[in-house]
Amino acid sequence: MGVALITGAASGIGAATARRLAGPGRHLVLHTGSNRAALEREAAACQALGAQTTLVVGDLALSGTVAELLAAAGEVGRPLRAVVANAGYALDQPLMTLDPDRLSEVLQFMVVGLTRLMQAALPMLARAPGGRFVAVSSFVAHRFNLPGAVYPATASAKAAVEALVKAAAREVAATGTTVNAVAPGFVRKDKHVEAGLVPAYWQQVAAITPIGRIALPDEIAGVIAFLLGPDAGFITGQTLHVDGGLTL
């Protein structure tokens, strides 16, 4: 089996995806921006499932981090077959008070960083049959009338992510590599993050989700794993909403 690279793998959807992909014969290159301790815990969980792991810590807004990630994948000695671009964050600052410098930081991290990752990873994926690239977007790029905070900076970045997915899918289609996005709705956080959110928050977001609850990270990871697998070989350039009907 080949190598899978996952950014933002220390928690949440990224960590759940790593555990989904872990198994004998699999080598995972796992990334976090700064939370090495959490990434090491997730790596240990993946190793317990039979996978080998390489860890990379660094800011994806920096070109050196992307270069380090792809170098780590290349040093394994097996082809890179899957990339999951999951790293991101939410900035709940309204547009009229949004600091343009903060907007630039968000776009540099999520859009420019993804561009660099695509430019470096897609040629490597094309060298092996059945290469797969999945980027994680968000419902915030599609829904702007929900109660509570708004996320114009993150929404802009995630909309750009989906546009880059379409552009990349078109450019690499002839190689057999597929490029897709998954757009989750509200997803449960890790316990240390969830503890800071009042129960009323979870009740509110569950109430506005047609299916009546919010997702578990592993439910998003399952869809990502499908898009990385052989049954998704004829799906490319798509954004798959995994949101319990939130964007209906």
Q: How far is the C-alpha of 94 from the C-alpha of 117, rounded, in Å?
A: 29
Catalytic member of 86, 151, 185, 228: 151
Strands (E) located in 86-227: 132-136, 178-184
Active-site residue 201, yes or no?
no
Q: Which pair of tokens denotes residue 101?
A: 């410098």
**DSSP annotation of 187:** B
DSSP 8-state class, residue 243: S
Tell me which residue of 20, 29, 18 sits closest to 56, measured CA to CA.
29
Both structure tokens of 46:
């993946």
- Which residues have CB under 8 Å from 33's CB, separation 6+? 8, 57, 58, 59, 60, 87
Annotated active-site positions, please?
A: 151
